[in-house]
Amino acid sequence: MSFGSPYFTLPRFRYEKPDTLEKALSILQENKDDARILAGGVGLLNLMKERLVEAKVLVDIKGIKELHKLEYKKGQGLTIGSTVTLNEILEHPILKQRYTALYQAISTLSDNNLRNRSTLVGDLCEALPWIDSPAPLIAFDASVNITGPEGYRSVKVESFIKGMAEVDLAPVEIVTSITLPEQTDTSRSIYLKFARGTEFGLVNLAVVASNLKKYVDRSVRIVYSAIDTKPVRALEAESVFKEDLPPRDMISRAVEKIRDTIEPMSDNLASGQYRKHLMQVMTYEALTRIFEGA
Ligand SMILES: Cc1cc2nc3c(=O)[nH]c(=O)nc-3n(C[C@H](O)[C@H](O)[C@H](O)COP(=O)(O)OP(=O)(O)OC[C@H]3O[C@@H](n4cnc5c(N)ncnc54)[C@H](O)[C@@H]3O)c2cc1C
């Protein structure tokens, strides 16, 4: 990831490595806007080298034991601590089995070396439009757990991302973990990414569905990223699955709703028109695979 900056070195900064959450919070409180949290450093240090992000103090949270938690509890779901690396998440057996879309998204995310250092929380906090983590997390209705001077709060990922590189987080707060609710035995999910000439997707799509056979209880969540400055949920298309229709009819109607109700952006990677075409093809493919597996 380079934006063509002429700089090769990092600017000067003070490095702090607290071993408790309390100490980390107090360093943030003392330095406010001058401080930044450092997790894997994969994104942050690059952006600092490019002089796109400034920080006088970096607060490395990797020494805080309680943040390195990766736990699945039956009936409650999966909790991913903020210093757990992407490769550590991939190794958890429950991920592929119950949270397939997130497993597929992380597998396609950058490369093996970077996944050894990068965290899911770091990827999410960057909130760049084309990143892979938000779509599956929103489709799974995940929450971000945050601690700060005012105490603890939890926010749905859907509202945590507020815009391009903008999240619902004060400079004095720390994300401690992400929680994904339990998935039932009837749940199915899929992640599709269309990328060309870059690791970043032109369209990223996550679908999470449950109770496909009983229409009264059926739930289908469809989320895109890379098509706007923040992720987009296809609410109109999702509502089609509340009707008692054969799968083929529902899938066709959902794709029509996508075509008629979502206007993707144009940028230097692709036109909006091309993205809209990809969204229809990918949605048809994803929903067909979901219903075939039900
Ligand atoms: C070459 C390259 C290829 C990439 N390819 C992809 C790709 O294909 N798909 C994709 O989605 N992403 C991609 N990325 C982005 C990469 O995945 C992220 O930069 C990485 O996951 C960030 O995680 P990190 O742990 O290194 O975070 P850091 O770089 O340490 O932090 C990133 C940001 O999150 C903040 N932050 C981190 N942890 C916390 C916390 N606990 N609480 C509050 N704020 C926090 C930091 O202050 C910083 O602003 C790529 C990056 C590079 C350099």
Residue 156 sits in a domain whose CATH number is 3.30.465.10
How deeply is 32 buried, as exposed, middle or buried, from its count of CB atoms within 10 A (0-12, 13-18, 19+)? exposed
**Same domain flag for 115 and 77:** yes
Residue 192: inside a domain: yes
Give me the pLDDT at residue 149, please.
95
**Same domain flag for 159 and 214:** no
pLDDT mean over 257-266: 98
Helix (H, G, I), strand (E, B) or coil at 287: helix
Residue 198, pLDDT > 80, answer no
How far is Cα of residue 132 from the mean position of the Cα atoms in its chain?
A: 6
Q: Answer whether 59 contacts ligand 1 (Cβ < 6 A).
A: no
Q: Answer whether 102 contacts ligand 1 (Cβ < 6 A).
A: no
Taking residue 5's Cβ as centre, other Cβ atoms within 10 Å add up to 12
The average confidence (pLDDT) of the chain is: 94
Residue 46: inside a domain: yes
Residue 142: inside a domain: yes
Residue 252 sits in a domain whose CATH number is 3.30.390.50
Instruction: Dump pLDDT digits (tens) for 84-103.
Output: 999 999 999 999 999 999 99
**Same domain flag for 133 and 166:** yes
8-state DSSP, 85: B
Rounded distance between C-alpha atoms, residue 202 and residue 198, angstroms: 9
Tell me the percentage of the chain whose pLDDT exceeds 90: 87
Q: Are 275 and 259 in contact (CB under 8 A)?
A: no
Banded pLDDT at 200 (limits 50, 70, 90): confident
**Same domain flag for 96 and 158:** yes
Where among 133, 159, 181 does a domain terminate?
A: 181
Residue 4: inside a domain: no
- Mutation test of ligand 1: which of 47, 58, 104, 131 has the most ligand atoms closer than 8 Å to its C-beta? 131
Give me the pLDDT at residue 2, please.
52
Q: Are 62 and 24 in contact (CB under 8 A)?
A: no
Q: Answer whether 145 contacts ligand 1 (Cβ < 6 A).
A: no
Residue 72: inside a domain: yes
pTM of the model: 0.96
**What tokens appear for 60 in the block?**
């490395």
Residue 166: inside a domain: yes
Residue 251: inside a domain: yes
**Same domain flag for 127 and 203:** no
Give me the pLDDT at residue 58, please.
98
Residue closest via CA to ligand 1's atom 9 equals 109
Q: Answer whether 83 contacts ligand 1 (Cβ < 6 A).
A: no
Give me the pLDDT at residue 92, please.
95
Length of the chain, in residues: 294
Per the structure, how many domains does the chain have? 3
Q: Which domain holds residue 262?
A: 188-292
